[in-house]
């Protein structure tokens, strides 16, 4: 078990010395029992927020959630949240309690917590206070609600997604009654703020159990992203595929590196397959245009979920290009780089690989060989002395073109584009003198009216 770090112990001692009960609680206890370094240490205490502030007067303290009893103490070791023991008041609309009541002892505070594995605290000697069997559940690898699951999900529907997140992040199963209740109560998620839904979705997607959780709880995912529901059971009627679209999607998520952009891209990459589907005369399924259409669909899903713009744009770019053949020549790579940028190409390599993971073996091997070859082309291009993959990376700029006598205006951009195309085609090296010579040549041709 990970010991309580000194910067946290100092805060606990200060509260104890002032006569208040105080305990590390929740995620940090769970993670220490798992032998993991907790991301942060949360404390709970009998002291009211103003009493915490008085006891810890030497610290900078943020009144982060003071109405709910939480203050954040800034220490040299990092921020520590301290929350007064509380019981939640009545819940309306399946989200956040209307009011909270501060209570004198730990027992009621642990009872309001969502899952048994999150409802443990540490006593003064570092012993585990475990009133709901959290330790046994952790050992058995299950997420189980504290108390009656229908009641707990009814109070706060976000807990449904939290159950999936912990199942994915900690690679645990969800105990059958809790699982059944999560599925049954999924419509309550409609009451939850979309940014909170999106934050949990991110956690689900980036955990080691992501694919399994998506497969087992598809109906919960479809509650928050109904656009994906048509993927389930959708027969692709294609020799390239061995699974329905949803199963393939969940496997592609697992096969991508655990990065939010890549995993979101894999979750949404085939969203437009059902609408783009048609069969040819042989009865083989095709999905022309599903990359472009999928990018549009992903854009509207991510906007609705209040995803930040940067992530949304990256994800949409990847989806737009996920079904093109990885560029196999330096010329094609330069043009592709001009379109999607270096980060885009590198992320697409990961997407192309992930998208191939569950294909029939010969198709998978062929696809992966194409990605490997494409990556070599990319590396060769970047190994060049002056790698050129966009107008901006040309060894000449607009001023050089103006100096040749080209009039200000669109003609300058056109000239640069032509030079880039010439470099991409291998007609001229990306070197200043050679480019100026080529540009002068174009100018002369234009003057002679031959262009």
Q: Is 39 in the site for ligand ATP (CB under 6 A)?
A: yes
What is the Cα–Cα distance from 289 to 271, expressed in whole angstroms?
12
Q: How far apart are CA 112 and CA 101, in angstroms?
A: 11
Max Cα-Cα span within the chain:
94
Q: Which residue from 267, 323, 314 is spatially nearest to 293, judged by alpha carbons?
A: 323
The reply on whether position 137 binds ligand ATP by CB under 6 A is no
d(CA 10, CA 75): 10
Q: Which of 20, 22, 24, 27 binds Mg ion (CB under 5 A)?
A: 27
Query: Between 146 and 251, whose beta carbon lies closer to ligand ATP?
Result: 146
- Binding segment toward Mg ion, per CB under 5 A, in 26-34, 115-123, 174-182, 314-322: 26-34
Q: Kindly indicate which of the ranges 113-121, 211-219, 292-300, 404-412 contains the residues binding ligand ATP, using the contact rule CB under 6 A.
A: 113-121
**What DSSP assignment string belongs to 58-104?**
TSEEEEEEGGGTEEEEEETTEEEEEEE-EEE--EETTEEES-EEE-S
Smaller CB distance to ligand ATP: residue 113 or 322?
Answer: 113
Interface stretch with Mg ion, choices 19-27, 272-280, 288-296, 325-333 (CB under 5 A): 19-27
Nearest of 354, 307, 318 to residue 200 by alpha carbon: 307
Instruction: List the single partner that 24 binds among Mg ion, ligand ATP, none, CB under 5 to 8 Å by kind.
Output: none
For residue 226, count CB atoms less than 10 angstroms from its CB and return exposed for 0-12, middle for 13-18, buried for 19 or more: exposed
Residue 158 lies near ligand ATP (rule: CB under 6 A): yes
**What distance in Å separates the CA atoms of residue 418 and residue 421, rounded to the nearest whole number?**
5
Q: 162 or 248: whose CB is closer to ligand ATP?
A: 162
Cβ at position 112, least distance to Mg ion in Å = 16
The answer to whether residue 134 forms part of the interface with Mg ion (CB under 5 A) is no
* Sole binder of ligand ATP in the list 114, 200, 227, 400 (CB under 6 A): 114
Q: Which helix (H) or strand (E) holds 242?
A: none
Site track 7-26 with ligand ATP (rule: CB under 6 A), x = hit: -------------------x
Among 15, 23, 27, 285, binds ligand ATP (CB under 6 A): 27
Long-range contacts, stretch 418-423, CB < 8 angstroms, 24+ apart: 418/442, 419/391, 419/394, 420/338, 420/388, 420/390, 420/391, 420/394, 423/334, 423/388, 423/394
CA distances from 157 to 152, 190, 326 (A): 8, 9, 43
Which residue sits closest to ligand ATP, CB atoms considered?
Answer: 27
Which entry of ligand ATP, Mg ion, none binds 69, CB below 5 to 8 A by partner kind? none
* Residue with the two structure tokens 């949240």: 81
86 binds ligand ATP (CB under 6 A): no
List the structure tokens of 274.
Answer: 């059902």
User: Minimum CB separation from Mg ion for residue 42, in Å?
Assistant: 6
Query: Regarding beta strands 142-143 and 86-88, do their DSSP bridges make them parallel or antiparallel, or are they unpaired?
Result: unpaired
- Least gap, CB of 261 to ligand ATP (angstroms): 20
* By the rule CB under 6 A, 130 interacts with ligand ATP: no
Residue whose CB is less far from ligand ATP, 118 or 347: 118
The binding site for Mg ion (CB under 5 A) comprises 27
The binding site for ligand ATP (CB under 6 A) comprises 26-27, 39, 42, 113-114, 118-119, 156, 158-159
């Amino acid at each position: 078990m990970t010991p309580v770090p000194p910067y946290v112990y100092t805060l606990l001692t200060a509260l104890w010395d002032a006569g208040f009960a105080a305990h590390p609680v929740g995620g940090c206890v769970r993670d220490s029992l798992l032998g993991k370094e907790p991301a942060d240490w949360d404390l709970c205490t009998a002291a009211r927020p103003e009493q915490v502030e008085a006891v810890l007067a030497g610290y900078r303290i943020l009144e982060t959630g003071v109405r709910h009893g939480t203050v954040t103490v800034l220490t040299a070791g990092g921020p520590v949240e301290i929350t007064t023991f509380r019981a939640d008041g009545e819940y309306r609309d399946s989200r956040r309690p209307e009011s909270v009541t501060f209570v004198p002892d730990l027992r009621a505070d642990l009872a309001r917590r969502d899952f048994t594995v999150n409802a443990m605290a540490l006593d003064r000697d570092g012993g585990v206070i475990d009133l709901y069997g959290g330790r046994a559940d952790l050992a058995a690898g299950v997420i189980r609600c504290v108390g009656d699951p229908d009641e707990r999900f009814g109070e706060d529907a976000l807990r449904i997604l939290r159950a999936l997140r912990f199942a994915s992040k900690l690679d645990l199963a969800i105990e059958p009654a809790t699982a059944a209740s999560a599925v049954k109560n999924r419509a309550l998620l409609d009451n939850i703020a979309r940014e909170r839904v999106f934050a949990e979705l991110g956690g689900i997607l980036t955990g080691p159990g992501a694919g399994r959780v998506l497969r087992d709880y598809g109906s919960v995912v479809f509650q928050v992203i109904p656009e994906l529901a048509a993927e389930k059971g959708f027969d692709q009627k294609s020799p390239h595929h061995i699974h329905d679209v949803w199963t393939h999607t969940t496997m592609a998520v697992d096969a991508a590196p655990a990065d939010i952009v890549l995993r979101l891209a894999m979750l949404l990459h085939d969203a437009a397959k059902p609408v783009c589907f048609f069969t040819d005369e042989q009865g083989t399924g095709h999905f022309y245009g599903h990359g472009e259409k999928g990018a549009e669909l992903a854009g509207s899903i991510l906007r609705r979920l209040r995803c930040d713009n940067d992530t949304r744009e990256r994800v949409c770019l990847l989806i737009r290009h996920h079904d093109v053949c990885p560029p196999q020549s330096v010329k094609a790579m330069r043009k592709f780089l001009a379109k999607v940028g270096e980060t885009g190409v590198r992320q697409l390599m990961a997407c192309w690989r992930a998208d191939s993971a569950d294909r029939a073996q010969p198709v998978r091997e062929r696809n992966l060989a194409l990605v490997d070859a494409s990556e070599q082309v990319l590396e060769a291009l970047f190994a060049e002395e002056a790698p050129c993959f966009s107008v901006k990376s040309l060894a000449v700029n607009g001023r050089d073109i103006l100096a040749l006598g080209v009039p200000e205006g669109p003609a300058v951009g056109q000239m640069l584009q032509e030079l880039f195309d010439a470099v991409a085609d291998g007609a001229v090296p990306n070197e200043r003198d050679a480019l100026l010579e080529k540009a002068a040549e174009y100018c002369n041709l234009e003057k002679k009216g031959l262009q």
